[in-house]
């Protein structure tokens, strides 16, 4: 068969392909959904009673700002990494914000130690923090998984890792608004621990998860 005939036969049965929106627009839409979800949680649970007092501390403001910025930048990175013509370097985009978030938590630990002494570094258990972050991450992560399902054959691991990092960081912002923790070391252990657990799980399960999402999407298409 001549090349021209082969191409003509391939094109004859081809169906139009719907182009994806630009990654920044898709990230913005998903971030808007996330803000609505966090607002709904805050509306049900109410703001933590000491929120105004905590926001008088510079490291608390830095922590919230860094967490929100990391969540937004990680979402932008995930939507770029899901495209075959984008650089792998997009995976580095949220790292400065994440480093600032961890640093602000560390500074809060130092401030608590200066203010309270050794009691400021007392570590307790707060499985509620882990459960809240992972629980809020499920619906937000599901929405992102649907949006990024086409990344399965491209960059499943970094796409999933940055996507879930975004989800977990925004869930951490929501948790900080409604849940009270006395010491910064508690926030450091439980918030950072929950985020790292979520990212590790998403990276490890990225390939089968994306494949399953694509099959489900094709079944309901």
Token digits of residue 13: 């049965």
Range of the structural domain that residue 212 is part of = 23-220
Q: What's the pLDDT score for residue 200? A: 77
In a domain, 192, yes or no: yes
**Residue, of 157 and 93, whose pLDDT is higher:** 93
190 domain-assigned: yes
Q: Identify whether 15 is part of a domain.
A: no
| In a domain? residue 101 | yes
How many domains are there within the chain? 1
Residue 64 scores a pLDDT above 60: yes
Calculate the average pLDDT of the chain.
Answer: 78
Query: Whose CA is closest to 144, among 45, 69, 77, 65?
Result: 77
Residue 13 inside a domain? The answer is no
pLDDT at 165 over 80: yes
pLDDT for the residue numbered 112: 64
- Higher pLDDT, residue 86 or 132: 86
Task: Tell which residue, 89, 212, 85, has the closest CA to residue 149.
Answer: 212
Give the mean model confidence (pLDDT) for residues 37-55: 84
Q: Which residue has the higher pLDDT, 128 or 83?
A: 83
- Is 178 a domain residue? yes
On whether residue 5 sits in a domain, the answer given is: no
152 in a domain, yes or no?
yes
Q: Using 50, 70 and 90 to split pLDDT, how confident is the model at 124?
A: low
């Amino acid at each position: 068969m001549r090349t021209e005939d082969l191409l003509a036969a391939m094109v004859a049965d081809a169906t139009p392909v719907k182009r994806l929106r630009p990654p920044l627009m898709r990230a913005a839409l998903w971030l808007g959904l996330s803000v609505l979800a966090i607002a709904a949680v805050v509306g049900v649970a109410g703001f933590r009673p000491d929120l105004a007092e905590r926001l008088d501390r510079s490291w608390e403001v830095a922590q919230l700002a860094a967490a929100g910025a990391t969540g937004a930048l990680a979402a932008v990175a995930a939507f770029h990494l899901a495209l075959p013509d984008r650089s792998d370097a997009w995976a580095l985009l949220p790292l400065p914000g994440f480093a600032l978030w961890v640093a602000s938590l560390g500074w809060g630990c130092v401030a608590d130690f200066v203010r309270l002494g050794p009691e400021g570094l007392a570590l307790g258990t707060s499985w509620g923090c882990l459960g809240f972050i992972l629980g809020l991450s499920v619906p937000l992560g599901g929405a992102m998984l649907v949006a990024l399902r086409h990344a399965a054959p491209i960059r499943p691991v970094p796409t999933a890792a940055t996507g879930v990092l975004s989800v977990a960081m925004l869930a951490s912002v929501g948790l900080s608004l409604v849940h009270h923790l006395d010491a910064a070391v508690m926030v450091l252990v439980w918030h950072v621990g929950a985020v790292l657990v979520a990212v590790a799980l998403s990276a490890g399960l990225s390939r089968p998860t994306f494949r399953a999402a694509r099959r489900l999407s094709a079944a309901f298409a």
